[in-house]
Structure 1
Amino acid sequence: MDATSLQIFSEFLGTLILVLLGDGVVAAVSLNKSKAQGAGWVAVTLGWGAAVTIAVYISGFMGPAHLNPAVTLGLAIVGDFSWNLVAPFFIAQVLGGIVGAILVWITYLPHFEATKDEAAILGTFATGPAIRNYTSNVVTEAIGTFVLVFGLLAFGQNTFADGFNPVVVGILILSLGLSLGGPTGYAINPARDLGPRIAHQMLPIKNKGESDWSYSWVPVVGPLVGGALAAAVWMMIPL
């Protein structure tokens, strides 16, 4: 495997782990008869923060560990990443999201079968708004992703102890979830939402209901806009 193929594979694997552990904590909290059922939003945000940290550690030695099309886009805009790899990274990230979600379904299969709440089932795969207002939902996702991408760019200007950077990124995700995640569930990552939503559509899940494709564009467009804006503002800073 050449260096480019290894980087693309690392995005697939890293996003798979990200979704497996991130959607896994949502399944643990939401599905019937799970030992963690009802653990609440704090458990979800802690789980997602840890998921990002672990996913970056697992994939980061093979590639840049973007694991997020909005991050890939933002870094390409500022000139820190090749535009030739943007589309392959996007595809690998979405495919990783699909496979990660399928593994969550396999892990929690008896609990999916014991759950009749369609919204809870979909929520273990994809995000949804607490109040459906598309304009507001897009703005919320854009703001959260702006902070994510700008934060990642700023972290690059700091010196951390060797191997500590993924922990700081995980803390950033935790902070975003606790502070800005309430309105939309903070997708802040098109692959994290689109890949699992595709899996939800494909899988033979009992009582699953619809995949809410009418909302699916929001966690794609909002994060991409936020990532691009973060890059644009970053380029205005004299470094």
Structure 2
Amino acid sequence: MFAEFLAEMIGTMVLIIFGGGVVAGNLLKKSKAEGSGWVAISVAWGLAVTMGVYVSGTVSDAHLNPAVTLSFAAIGEFSWDLVPAYIGGQLLGAFLGACVVYLNYLPHWRETKDQGAKLGVFATDPAIPHYPSNIISEAIGTAVLIFGLLAIGANQFSEGLNPFIVGLLITAIGFSLGGPTGYAINPARDLGPRIAHFLLPIQGKGPSNWSYAWVPIVGPLLGGVIGAVVYQYVFLKSSVVGIIVGVVALLALVALSTTFSIVKSNQEKSNKAAMKRV
């Protein structure tokens, strides 16, 4: 079990070094990669996952993500006994990887005045802060991730090619679904570096936005289990249960998002009316 813990820790650390590193290069002032953009970030995160899987895959199952570990355990594809060791390794590895990124860009923190950019190197932040919608976005992205991982695992690839295909899946999710929240789709990827941001002596760093920190935890865990259950019952058990779960989950998300949108719209109208009366 200790070997698996170390493998998940090192694999996740590698993931964050490459993934967090490309964000730092894009956001921090006077970096030669400053302004490289979303395409570079999405591609690099895919490669980051690929490298992390290559590093740890021969020892552990290279989950590198608590949502993957929990989802696979929920459908019987992974032992519950190993869940604490895997998640513990993932969180520690993500924290250590963020520390490496901090050290690599050490002179650039002082040059960067934007507190949001500094936090963005470590943790995700929504383009439009709206927690219900943000949770839905994270849930959808992670459901697609878990569904895709199970589908990839069911296919036969040349030896050593599987991690590269997984990296392409991550890149595709970044391009297509990552815009609203920055696609954490991994509680360790967000929580470990956010803790590092909170603890490290970063010049003028500002708050770590803990009020949002629960979103990239709850959303991925919820979406991951939904994606796993749908795949299991549709493809492994040839049952309509998976289709029903998927449709119900989708309708529930639509209903929730619609309800919150209506409530917010009514609040904005009430606020405008109150301001006119004043």
Task: Kindly indicate whether the alpha-carbon contact (under 8 Å) linking 2:191 and 2:213 is maintained by their aligned counterparts in 1.
Answer: yes
* In 1: Cα distance, 2:47 partner to 2:233 partner: 32
CA RMSD of aligned residues (A): 0.7
Q: What pairs up with 1:207-218 in 2 under 5 angstroms?
A: 207-218=204-215
* In 1: Cα distance, 2:153 partner to 2:118 partner: 38
Task: Kindly indicate whether the alpha-carbon contact (under 8 Å) linking 2:127 and 2:179 is maintained by their aligned counterparts in 1.
Answer: yes
- The structure with the greater share of residues assigned to helix is 2
Segments of 4+ moved more than 4 angstroms? none
* In 1: Cα distance, 2:235 partner to 2:150 partner: 14
Q: Which amino acid aligns with 1:48?
A: W
Residue of structure 2 in register with 1:54 after alignment: 51
The alignment status of 1:149 with 2:125, answered yes or no, reads no
Q: Per-residue CA shift, 1:181-222, capped at 9, x if unaligned?
A: 100000000000000000000001001000000000000000
1:177, distance to aligned residue in structure 2 (A):
0.3
* In 2: Cα distance, 1:85 partner to 1:96 partner: 16
The alignment status of 1:236 with 2:233, answered yes or no, reads yes
Residue of structure 1 in register with 2:267 after alignment: none
List gaps (5 residues or longer) in structure 1.
none
* In 2: Cα distance, 1:112 partner to 1:177 partner: 26
1:87, distance to aligned residue in structure 2 (A):
1.6
The alignment status of 1:176 with 2:149, answered yes or no, reads no
The alignment status of 1:78 with 2:75, answered yes or no, reads yes
In the alignment, which of 6, 14, 17 is matched to residue 17 of structure 1? 14
* In 2: Cα distance, 1:49 partner to 1:131 partner: 24
Output the TM-score relative to the length of structure 2. Answer: 0.84
Q: Per-residue CA shift, 1:3-28, capped at 9, x if unaligned?
A: x2111110000000000110000000
* SS of residue in 2 equivalent to 1:214: coil
1:82, distance to aligned residue in structure 2 (A):
0.5
* SS of residue in 2 equivalent to 1:237: helix
Task: Kindly indicate whether the alpha-carbon contact (under 8 Å) linking 2:4 and 2:85 is maintained by their aligned counterparts in 1.
Answer: no
The alignment status of 1:36 with 2:36, answered yes or no, reads no
* In 2: Cα distance, 1:234 partner to 1:86 partner: 21
List gaps (5 residues or longer) in structure 2.
237-278
Q: What pairs up with 1:124-203 in 2 under 5 angstroms?
A: 124-203=121-200
1:235, distance to aligned residue in structure 2 (A):
2.4
The alignment status of 1:118 with 2:115, answered yes or no, reads yes
* In 2: Cα distance, 1:32 partner to 1:106 partner: 15
Q: Which amino acid aligns with 2:149?
A: L
Q: Which amino acid aligns with 2:216?
A: P
Residue of structure 2 in register with 1:106 after alignment: 103
* In 1: Cα distance, 2:193 partner to 2:84 partner: 19
- For these two proteins, the number of residue pairs brought into alignment is 236
1:80, distance to aligned residue in structure 2 (A):
1.3
* In 2: Cα distance, 1:51 partner to 1:232 partner: 27
Residue of structure 1 in register with 2:64 after alignment: 67
* In 1: Cα distance, 2:96 partner to 2:59 partner: 19
Deviation larger for 194-203 or 70-79: 70-79
Q: Which amino acid aligns with 2:188?
A: A
Q: Which amino acid aligns with 2:73?
A: A
